Structure 1
Amino acid sequence: MTTPPSGFANPSILDTARDKAPANRWLVLAIVALAQLTVVLDGTIVNIALPQAQLELAMSDSDRSWVVTLYALTFGALLLLGGRIADFWGRKRSFLVGMGGFALASAMGGIATSGELLLLARGLQGAFAALLAPAALAILSVTFPGGRDRVRAFAVYGTIAGGGAAVGLLLGGVLTEYFSWHWCLLVNVPIAVVAIAAGIPLLRESRAEGSTRYDIPGAVLVSLGLASVVYGFSRAEAGWIRLDTLGFLALGVLLLALFILVESRAAHPLLPLRIITDRARAGAYLSSIAVGAALLGALLYLTLYFQIVLGLSPLHSGLASLPMTAAIIICAGVVSRLLPRVGPRILMTVGPLIAATGLLLLSRITVGGSYVLEVLPGQILLGVGLAFIFVPLQNVALLGIEPRDSGVASAAVTATQQIGGSIGTAVFTALYAVGAGTGTAEGNAGGLQPLVDGYSVVFLAAAVALALASPISWFMIRVAREEFSQSGESAHLG
């Protein structure tokens, strides 16, 4: 048996964990999937409800944008701390508290009678999501320690991560059109009740062994650093050459650099550097940033194209987004069977190119274009490519993680997606303004053409972002396919 490289779990640890894998692990997967779906849905489900909520609560445009920003801000800032709390306090306990707190915050937002109460609720949602998301992924990692079952479990998780945003658009459209915007938040309550009721008897508690001392300086630095970066990118929508945009981005980079310095010297680091310095895992994290940026940016502007240019209702707009999700679901099963045969490197190299091709097709949309001819082919290719990425990405990002670090490593995966989404939203908003402005300058101000020009620029930029993940995967992800075989007894690097 080959000795595993530094940063990868000892095979004996994997064997022991495998022996302890619960018999009801597929029910555990269902519970974790519910939690992941809830967190992903809230990234998009509120977007469709915002116009109605703004009108009813008499919110300004600035306050409306904060409904989205506050969730991303608290979620992204507290993720690593939430992951370490899950490791030390207990993953089951953190999952149940996170799920319960998320439900209460959702109920508060759902019955909000003022903009201030809605904003408070969204901030609390993000905070509890930062505890819930890493706990859920850590539970999945511990429950499925290796082999083909782990590949299948992460295929389900990756499908939700990739397609949940589109499902959120559909569900938001249904609830807004037939009920009210309040239900876009209240819908989380029954989901949480089911997850908690099932989780109490089915989930097993697990926590890190040994010292459980918290790294307070590291927690403060990384929370403030991530919050500053996310906020800085959110302000970039109003302009890049602004004091607040550049100031918060610079402050965030400085704080994160200090965080790395502190972690390199800490006896009990919040984020052990071995987690992010492993070559394959670092490649997965970088790919996750690129994919998160491209996916959220593309979905936002595709939704705008559906509603503003094609004139679709919120419900029909959500339905029009489903082919991408269907492609992810169908292909995820195929990819999970391919992973043990070809390994993650080829899949994660080819996947971004397929998805980027889909976005290139979407960049050719027109004002009077046909959905079937101009949008559907690109959506399907985007979904296929994302399935090739998400299924192996989750596996590689948590491959060989020591059991005591599973919570914080899971948080790091989610944090890369959040940061990627924030970067993508800000950058693509700026590029959209340039594209739409160019169309106006060319004499198209009288119609929808400037908007379509802006959307096309966004899809083209998203394609470039996705394509960058291909060489990253090819050169950095060198994990042998044997790691994903039925036995999964050792971690070989190619």
Structure 2
Amino acid sequence: MSTPSAPPTTADALSAPPHPARLGTVLLVIVTAYLMVGVDSTVVNVALPDIQRGLDFSRTGLSWVLNAYTLAFGGLLLLGGRVGDILGRRRTLTAGVLVFALSSLLGGLATDGGWLLAARALQGVGAALIAPSTLALITTNFPEGPRRHHALSVYASMAGIGGSVGLVLGGMLTSWASWRWALLINVPIGLALTLALPRFVTETPRHAGRFDAAGALTGTAGMTSLVYAFIRVSERGWSDGQALLGFGAATALLAGFVLIEARAGQPIMPLRLFADRDRAGGYVSIMLLPAGMFGAFYFLTLIGQQVLGFSPLRAGFAFLPLTLVMFTIVRLVPRLLARFGVRPVLLTGMTLITVASVWLWRLRPDDGYVTGLLGPLLLMGLGVGLSFMPLNATILARIEPREAGAASGLLQTLQWLGGTLGLSVLVTVFGTATRHATGSPADVLTHGASRAFGTGALIALAALLVAAFVIRGRRTDA
């Protein structure tokens, strides 16, 4: 006579994977949440001219619509990962989706610039809770082997797809309805995800730990002060008192952040990750590359609509050549890494990005899309496709398993913060170049943008030099 089995414990319920028949639904729910984050990094790009007219932003102040999101996202990303470890990944992901949906609703209803920027910052907070939890949930919900490998490959493709979908989707919604729908579309998706997550996705066990709130706050506040100071300089000049105060506050806050992280028992950014020469060079490079690219996308969006006369929809589709080339080359990169190693592939990609930036620097008001923009976009897509995977391999090579999460989280953080800081620097160059410029609006915009592209070329060159002289790269790292 058999004894009745004991009821499952809470730990069993948390760790039990879903039934194989439901794995497709589980994957759909998780990658949709991750896709929302990627889409919203670009969905408002092509809507920027409409937002500028609707809420009376200046051309330099308009960059805050992007920076408010990326600053909060990048600055709180590591803390969001720690929250998921301590409170549970599914619970954290659900909370992040709710925050994201609510902030999208608030942004879509904004009646002035300050309201929209606050909503975008709150979106960044939601994204910082969403992004770190999605990858961990795939690991715990999918059994090791082919099913997990397939899920991870789908997940990885969402990062690039999200940005591309955001550009086209933002153009469609802005052209056919209003820029507000680029934000409001997240509300029904977020509500559906909130209902689906507890039903289909298995929770992860909680782990004891501490929140490094002091590190997260000082780091985010320091970067915000630095970006604010640059934007202020672009509007008022280098002698502006508030700009100088912002630079001083940023210096103090970021110095405090380093001291806090050096002494914290469980830091959100373990400084020991920079001890390895190749990894440190990879981190610097992966921060510098988006620094020039975010600015390029920002100004190319304005040029497409305000100089070339594109509709928002056409402006979104104008970036598709970059996306198609990038996706094509990314499929070949693993074989290239296996054959040639990290350094040759990485240096080739960074060289192409630098050449594309120099090409954009030569942009003139009478250049059309084919003669002035198509070539640089194709080169940049090729360069990005060749650069980021070798950098990821370099950063994560020979990493201790217990530090893999921190290393990959820091990688994502530096990407977002690098792009934000780079955009603020390029906007400063643009504002300085156009403050006293004369001529038609198209001439002034192109003149300022070309100066910004020149600065972006110098940033890309700096990344290339770091890769060439700091990263040694080993064939086994691939």
- Per-residue deviation, 1:326: 1.1
Of 380-389 and 282-291, deviating more is 282-291
Question: Could you tell me whether the CA contact under 8 Å between 2:108 and 2:184 is conserved in 1?
Answer: yes
Per the alignment, residue 7 of structure 2 pairs with none
1:408 to partner: Cα distance: 4.2
- 1:221 maps to what in 2? 218
* 1:425 pairs with 2:419: no
Alpha-carbon distance change, 458 to 66 in structure 1, aligned in 2, over 3 angstroms: closer
Q: CA deviation at 1:271?
A: 2.5
Instruction: Check 1:216–1:365 CA distance in 2 against 1; reply closer, same or farther (3 A cut).
Output: closer
- Offset at 1:122? 2.1
Number of the residue aligned with 1:472: 466
Aligned partner of 1:212 in structure 2 is 209
Match of 1:37 in 2: 35
Secondary structure of the structure 2 residue equivalent to 1:45: coil
Measured in 2, the distance between the counterparts of 1:472 and 1:429 equals: 24
1:287 is aligned to 2:285: yes
**Which of 359, 364, 371 is matched with 2:362 structurally?**
364
* TM superposition shift of 1:325: 1.1
**Which residue number in structure 1 is paired with residue 248 of structure 2?**
250
Distance (Å, rounded) in 2 between the aligned partners of 1:248 and 1:349: 36
Q: 1:386 to 1:254 in 2, by over 3 A?
A: same
Query: What letter corresponds to residue 322 of structure 1 in structure 2?
Result: L
2:122 match: 124
Match of 1:5 in 2: none
Q: Offset at 1:317?
A: 1.1
Q: CA deviation at 1:158?
A: 6.6
Please name the residue that 2:102 is paired with. Answer: 104
Alignment of structure 1 residues 15-54 onto 2, 5 Å? 33-53=31-51
> Could you say which residue in structure 2 is the equivalent of 1:457?
451
Q: What CA distance in whole angstroms lies between the structure 2 residues aligned with 1:447 and 1:359? A: 23
Paired residue total: 459
Partner of 2:44: helix, strand, or coil?
helix
| Alignment-mate amino acid for residue 72 of structure 1 | T
Structure 1 window deviating more from structure 2 (325-334 vs 392-401): it is 392-401
- Once the two structures are superposed, what CA deviation does each residue of 1:252-272 show, in whole Å capped at 9, x if it has no partner? 232222222232233333322
| 8 Å CA contact retained: 2:322, 2:380 | yes
CA RMSD, 1 decimal = 3.8
Provide the C-alpha distance between the structure 2 equivalents of 1:467 and 1:151, rounded to a whole number of angstroms. Answer: 36
Q: Aligned letter for 1:265?
A: R
Cα deviation code 1:422-459 (max 9, x no counterpart): 2222221232345557974xxxx257434323322222
Change (3 A) 1:300 1:447: closer
Residue aligning to 2:261? 263
Q: Which blocks of at least 5 consecutive residues in structure 1 are unaligned?
A: 1-19, 485-494
* Counterpart residue number, 1:314: 312
- Cα deviation, residue 403, structure 1: 5.4
Corresponding residue of 2:381: 383
Instruction: Work out the CA distance in 1 between the residues paired with 2:435 and 2:283.
Output: 34
State the TM-score, normalizing by the size of structure 1.
0.79
After superposition, residues 297-312 of structure 1 pair within 5 angstroms as 297-312=295-310
Paired letter, 2:263: R
SS at match of 2:47: helix
Alignment of 1:390-405 (within 5 A): 390-399=388-397, 401=399, 405=403
Counterpart contact for 1:92–1:203, Cα < 8 Å: yes
Matches of 2:104 and 2:76 in 1, distance apart? 18
* Distance in 1 separating the partners of 2:255 and 2:461: 28
Amino acid at match of 2:174: T
Give the Cα separation in 2 of the matches to 1:28 and 1:373.
Answer: 46
- 8 Å contact from structure 2 (residues 326, 384) kept in 1: yes
1:355 maps to a residue whose letter is I
Correspondence for 1:133 among 126, 131, 134: 131
Q: Which deviates more, 328-337 or 473-482?
A: 473-482
| 423-432 or 25-34, larger mean C-alpha shift | 25-34
> How far did residue 37 of structure 1 move?
3.4
How big is each residue's C-alpha offset from its partner over 1:222-259, in whole Å with a ceiling of 9 and x where there is no partner? 34333333433343432344332232233223222222
Which residue pairs with 1:4 in the alignment?
Answer: none
Q: 5+ unaligned residues in a row in structure 2: which ranges?
A: 1-16
1:122 alignment partner AA: R
Percent of matched pairs sharing the same residue = 39
Amino acid of the structure 1 residue aligned with 2:39:
L
The corresponding residue for 1:10 is none
| Aligned partner (choices 87, 90, 114) of residue 85 of structure 2 | 87
Deviations 1:49-95 (A, max 9, x none): 35545655x65659866544432343343233222212332333322
TM-score norm. by structure 2 comes to: 0.81
Q: Secondary structure at the match of 2:419?
A: helix
**SS of residue matched to 2:310:** coil
Alpha-carbon distance, 1:304 to partner: 1.7
> Can you list the C-alpha shifts for 1:140-184, whole angstroms capped at 9, x where unaligned?
688999999999988876765456445423221210110112211
